[in-house]
Amino acid sequence: MPPATSATAKLNSNARYEDRGVEERPTTNAASQTALLTALRNMIITLVQAAVPNSKGLDDVPMGREAEDLLASLQTYISSVIRDETKTRVVDLAEMSEQPGGPNMGSGRVNLLSAGTVNAGKILEKSNDEPEELVIFRTWKGIDGEITPLKDVLTNLREHVFNRLPIRLLSFRKSDLDNSKLEISLLERGEIYAHLVRNLRKHLVTRHIQFPAAYVVSDKYDPILASNYAILSHTWLQSSPEVTYNNWMNGDDLDLSHEGYRKLVNFCCIAEAEDAVTFGWMDTVCIDKSSSSELDESIRSMYKWYENAKICITYLADTSSINDMATDRWFTRGWTLQELIAPKRLNFYSRDWKRVKSNATHNDKKITEIQEIIFNATGIARHHIENLGFASIPTKMQWAAKRQVTRSEDASYSLMGLFGVNMSIAYGEGPKRAFARLVNEIINATPDKDILDIFDFGVGPGAFDGIFHEFLPSNPKAYLDSSNFNFSRGQLTKPLVMTHLGLRIPVLLLQAAPGSSSSKKYTSIGDYFAHPVEYTDYGGRKYLNILDISWQDKPLVKNVSFYGPSQHRVAVLNCTAAEGIADIRIPAVCLAAILIYDPEVQEQINSTTRMEKLSTKAPVVFELQNHIKQPDWSRGFYTIPRSELARHGMQFLTMYL
């Protein structure tokens, strides 16, 4: 017989909330269970005292695992008898299959584990003088694994549930009384953990022959794998409401005539029948949007939840066959971008809940025909679908640029997971501020070798309707005109930092003057030159003669920012210089910004000189050449002593832009 446990702790209703590790409020269901269990406990105490006169109650009587199972079974039975209908709903599978657009459930069913809402409480709590319980997980080949303390297994399980699973999940199982009915419950993390603990106990089937103190866990069972869940990706219904968390918890009258409820049930049926999982997540019902803290956590964690799901079931409401899949609304929404990229496995279903690609593998993301459709619909190439790490900052922004969101801030919030960053949710801040915060987080999280990609943008469609002088982009659309040019990248010597003065960044300033497409009148200041650089601003097509000796003779141009005369400088962003090192590394292929300033205000340019970026339709990329020598083509850089910069019309400094 296994070691004894405290029966008092098992029946203590207060302990059941402490064990969850979260703050929870008892439901009517829990209160009813507690009352019935308390009555049973008092009756058992009377019987024990009659049989063992010197005992004071249950605490003095050893309780074996059989007793623990009995109490757990009583809890499960009471839960099923007095089920709180706001937590669990029963669906007739036969009726479900008769519904229009219902899934074809087929003849194969999986054996679902119990998913009742009763918490296991302190059922595994042990007194200090009891020996340690040990478990051995046996592999599918029948080979024993390592002997592990049960408490360590439970610690790992708890960490997994409370840190890797969503806040709550739908739980579905076949009814114990009627196999043709599917019970669907909405469980919090604490209830999910309790369910998994109960089922772990059920799988401690025998003692080990060589190690009497250790239980053997039955083949193919792992409590972590038992928590696998399916996740739904979909667009919200436009003609009828979805089932929300409040609908479920308030016990609203829902049946299969309700389109939103029918979608929820179809999702559960597919996940149970085709993917052998007992848990599912659906944003409409699994997020309490009335809680700002929960909404914040959900949005910031959603990419991870899709990534951790065993399967993403993607419902294309506008798709009847693979032929019209590319035009489905799902490919145009902002949030579905991360729902396409994040999951390791994803399967597409048409409006009637049939697989879009019949007889397909277990992962539509691996199917060439589907990959081509995704590329045509979104511009996302196959290698990016399979490995997001190959995608640059401008590439990811281009994916998001043409997608639509209901709340304008979601255009930025929905990209956090794609860039591996995190920031607080603040609806009402507006799209521009939300995107500025996103860009700042991307700068902080991006490795040096890729950070300069953040500047590879234009002003975006429609921006020339007004006047813009922003050094950083204001929305993803600015990257539609990125250069996609493989400009030279050096190791930054100082971090890019956003301050109240602007972005602090080291730049190499090159003197420049307005020119023409012809370079006949161009004479370089020193040994370096560049062919006339063409760009387009709000006034149309323009040219700059970079490092032209005649720049001082060029007339000052009127600048719409200062409404006065202005001078040009080209700021090369991808140059590098180490502290204390005399040489500057100048890139052969430059990524640059055109800066303008008022020379009448301040002739000497220093780090605090007020300069603004001239908005151009596309990034300024040009090739820097030398009259005498070629660059080190293995690295794509020239090397020049700091002392010679002025002779070549150059200036290196850290600026605030």
Tokens of 17: 């909330």
Quick one: pLDDT at residue 94? 63
Radius of gyration, CA atoms only, the chain: 33
Closest among 329, 309, 464, 300 to 405, alpha carbons compared: 329
Three-state DSSP class for residue 146: strand
Rounded to the nearest 5 percent, the helix, strand and coil shares of the chain are 35, 20, 45
Tokens of 207: 């003692």
Quick one: pLDDT at residue 557? 60
* Strands 214-217 and 134-138, sheet pairing: parallel
Quick one: pLDDT at residue 649? 86
Quick one: pLDDT at residue 451? 83
- CA of residue 297 relative to chain centroid, distance: 11
CA atoms within 13 A on the CB side of 18: 9
Q: Rounded to whole angstroms, how far apart are CA atoms 148 and 150?
A: 6
In this structure, what DSSP letter does residue 13 have?
Answer: H
Quick one: pLDDT at residue 233? 97
Closest among 123, 93, 124, 95 to 107, alpha carbons compared: 93
Q: Which run of H or of E encompasses 88?
A: strand 88-92
- Spell out the long-range contacts of 364-371 with Cβ–Cβ below 8 A and sequence spacing 24 or more: 364/314, 369/322
Quickly list H helices, 469-611: none
Q: Rounded to whole angstroms, how far apart are CA atoms 378 and 330?
A: 11
Tokens of 501: 């003065």
Quickly list H helices, 82-149: 93-98
Q: Which run of H or of E encompasses 567?
A: strand 564-572
Tokens of 579: 């502290």
Quick one: pLDDT at residue 334? 95
In this structure, what DSSP letter does residue 182 have?
Answer: E
* Strands 497-499 and 502-514, sheet pairing: antiparallel
Q: pTM (2 decimals)?
A: 0.78
Q: Rounded to whole angstroms, how far apart are CA atoms 108 and 129?
A: 48
Q: Rounded to whole angstroms, how far apart are CA atoms 271 and 480?
A: 38
Averages of pLDDT over runs of 10 residues in the chain (657 residues) are 33 32 39 63 66 54 53 57 56 63 45 30 38 70 72 92 96 80 90 90 72 71 91 93 92 86 93 91 95 94 96 96 94 96 95 87 90 94 86 92 94 95 94 92 83 83 56 88 71 76 86 76 81 81 82 58 68 74 80 81 74 83 84 74 87 86
Three-state DSSP class for residue 277: coil
